[in-house]
Amino acid sequence: MGHPVRILDWSTLSEAQRRQVLERPAQRDAGEIHAAVRGIIDAVRRDGEAAVLALTERFDRARLASLRVTPQEFAAAERTLSAAQKAAIERATANASACRSARLVCTCLPVPRRCLPRPSCSPSPRPSPNAHRV
Protein backbone atom coordinates (compact mmCIF):
# COMPACT_ATOMS: atom_id res chain seq x y z
CA MET A 1 0.00 0.00 0.00
CA GLY A 2 1.33 3.47 -0.88
CA HIS A 3 1.42 6.59 1.18
CA PRO A 4 -1.94 8.08 2.12
CA VAL A 5 -2.86 11.30 0.32
CA ARG A 6 -2.77 14.33 2.60
CA ILE A 7 -5.21 17.09 1.79
CA LEU A 8 -3.98 20.49 2.87
CA ASP A 9 -5.77 23.81 2.97
CA TRP A 10 -3.09 26.12 1.56
CA SER A 11 -4.75 29.22 2.95
CA THR A 12 -4.41 27.96 6.53
CA LEU A 13 -0.71 27.11 6.29
CA SER A 14 2.01 29.41 7.60
CA GLU A 15 4.90 30.38 5.32
CA ALA A 16 7.14 27.81 7.06
CA GLN A 17 4.52 25.07 6.67
CA ARG A 18 4.13 25.91 2.98
CA ARG A 19 7.88 25.61 2.46
CA GLN A 20 7.90 22.31 4.34
CA VAL A 21 5.12 20.70 2.29
CA LEU A 22 6.76 21.83 -0.96
CA GLU A 23 10.16 20.50 0.05
CA ARG A 24 11.13 17.33 -1.74
CA PRO A 25 11.94 14.35 0.50
CA ALA A 26 15.41 14.05 -1.04
CA GLN A 27 16.19 17.63 0.03
CA ARG A 28 14.73 17.17 3.49
CA ASP A 29 16.52 13.87 4.08
CA ALA A 30 19.78 14.66 2.26
CA GLY A 31 21.95 14.67 5.40
CA GLU A 32 20.57 11.35 6.60
CA ILE A 33 20.91 9.80 3.15
CA HIS A 34 24.47 11.10 2.80
CA ALA A 35 25.43 9.59 6.18
CA ALA A 36 23.90 6.21 5.26
CA VAL A 37 25.69 6.15 1.90
CA ARG A 38 28.96 7.18 3.55
CA GLY A 39 28.59 4.23 5.96
CA ILE A 40 28.07 1.82 3.07
CA ILE A 41 31.08 3.16 1.17
CA ASP A 42 33.25 3.00 4.29
CA ALA A 43 32.18 -0.60 4.96
CA VAL A 44 32.97 -1.69 1.39
CA ARG A 45 36.35 0.07 1.44
CA ARG A 46 37.18 -1.49 4.79
CA ASP A 47 35.75 -5.01 4.34
CA GLY A 48 35.60 -5.42 0.55
CA GLU A 49 33.68 -8.37 -0.82
CA ALA A 50 32.53 -9.45 2.64
CA ALA A 51 30.76 -6.09 3.04
CA VAL A 52 29.14 -6.35 -0.39
CA LEU A 53 27.85 -9.83 0.46
CA ALA A 54 26.50 -8.63 3.82
CA LEU A 55 24.87 -5.57 2.24
CA THR A 56 23.32 -7.74 -0.48
CA GLU A 57 21.76 -9.90 2.19
CA ARG A 58 20.60 -6.86 4.16
CA PHE A 59 19.07 -4.85 1.30
CA ASP A 60 18.16 -7.52 -1.25
CA ARG A 61 17.45 -10.35 1.19
CA ALA A 62 19.62 -12.60 -0.94
CA ARG A 63 22.40 -14.69 0.57
CA LEU A 64 25.17 -15.19 -1.97
CA ALA A 65 28.17 -17.45 -1.59
CA SER A 66 30.18 -15.41 -4.08
CA LEU A 67 30.01 -12.33 -6.27
CA ARG A 68 31.34 -14.26 -9.25
CA VAL A 69 28.87 -14.87 -12.07
CA THR A 70 29.52 -17.62 -14.59
CA PRO A 71 29.20 -17.03 -18.35
CA GLN A 72 26.22 -19.42 -18.30
CA GLU A 73 24.49 -17.33 -15.61
CA PHE A 74 25.09 -14.15 -17.67
CA ALA A 75 23.65 -15.80 -20.78
CA ALA A 76 20.61 -17.09 -18.91
CA ALA A 77 19.96 -13.66 -17.37
CA GLU A 78 20.36 -11.91 -20.72
CA ARG A 79 17.76 -14.21 -22.31
CA THR A 80 15.17 -12.94 -19.81
CA LEU A 81 15.58 -9.29 -20.90
CA SER A 82 13.46 -7.50 -23.47
CA ALA A 83 15.05 -5.38 -26.19
CA ALA A 84 13.99 -2.23 -24.30
CA GLN A 85 15.61 -3.49 -21.10
CA LYS A 86 18.84 -4.30 -22.95
CA ALA A 87 18.84 -0.82 -24.51
CA ALA A 88 18.28 0.76 -21.08
CA ILE A 89 21.23 -1.17 -19.64
CA GLU A 90 23.45 -0.13 -22.55
CA ARG A 91 22.37 3.51 -22.10
CA ALA A 92 23.05 3.37 -18.35
CA THR A 93 26.47 1.84 -18.99
CA ALA A 94 27.31 4.59 -21.49
CA ASN A 95 26.10 7.26 -19.05
CA ALA A 96 28.21 5.83 -16.22
CA SER A 97 31.21 5.70 -18.52
CA ALA A 98 30.69 9.32 -19.57
CA CYS A 99 30.31 10.32 -15.93
CA ARG A 100 33.59 8.65 -14.97
CA SER A 101 35.31 10.34 -17.90
CA ALA A 102 33.89 13.80 -17.27
CA ARG A 103 34.34 13.83 -13.49
CA LEU A 104 31.78 16.59 -13.19
CA VAL A 105 29.64 17.37 -10.21
CA CYS A 106 26.03 18.49 -10.32
CA THR A 107 25.77 21.81 -8.48
CA CYS A 108 21.98 21.89 -8.21
CA LEU A 109 21.66 19.31 -5.43
CA PRO A 110 22.23 19.84 -1.72
CA VAL A 111 24.54 16.80 -1.73
CA PRO A 112 26.83 17.01 -4.79
CA ARG A 113 26.71 14.08 -7.15
CA ARG A 114 28.55 13.37 -10.33
CA CYS A 115 26.60 14.02 -13.51
CA LEU A 116 26.99 13.60 -17.20
CA PRO A 117 29.12 16.16 -19.04
CA ARG A 118 26.02 18.25 -19.79
CA PRO A 119 23.75 17.88 -16.77
CA SER A 120 20.29 19.22 -17.43
CA CYS A 121 20.07 20.50 -13.88
CA SER A 122 22.99 22.90 -14.04
CA PRO A 123 24.01 25.24 -16.84
CA SER A 124 27.59 25.45 -15.56
CA PRO A 125 28.99 22.13 -14.33
CA ARG A 126 32.29 22.35 -12.49
CA PRO A 127 35.01 19.76 -12.01
CA SER A 128 34.50 17.63 -8.93
CA PRO A 129 36.94 18.36 -6.12
CA ASN A 130 36.92 14.59 -5.47
CA ALA A 131 37.48 13.57 -9.07
CA HIS A 132 40.70 11.78 -8.17
CA ARG A 133 38.84 9.61 -5.63
CA VAL A 134 36.68 7.01 -7.33
Residue 118 has pLDDT above 80, yes or no: no
Residue 111 has pLDDT above 60, yes or no: no
64-109 pLDDT per residue, tens: 999 999 999 999 999 999 999 999 999 988 888 777 666 555 555 4
pTM value is 0.45
**Can you give the residue ranges of every domain in the chain?**
11-102
Check residue 102 and give its pLDDT.
61
Question: Is 121 or 104 the better-scoring residue by pLDDT?
Answer: 104
**Residue from 106, 96, 110, 109 nearest 130 by CA:** 106
Angle between helices 49-60 and 30-47 (to 10 degrees): 140
Check residue 3 and give its pLDDT.
62
Q: Alpha-carbon distance 134 to 126, whole Å? A: 17
Q: Which amino acid is at 72?
A: Q
8-58 pLDDT per residue, tens: 888 999 999 888 888 776 666 778 888 999 999 999 999 999 999 999 999
Q: Are strands 126-127 and 113-115 parallel, antiparallel or unpaired?
A: unpaired
CA dihedral of residues 86, 92, 95, 96 (deg, nearest 10): -120
Check residue 113 and give its pLDDT.
52
**Residue from 98, 100, 109 nearest 131 by CA:** 100
CA dihedral of residues 97, 36, 54, 41 (deg, nearest 10): 40
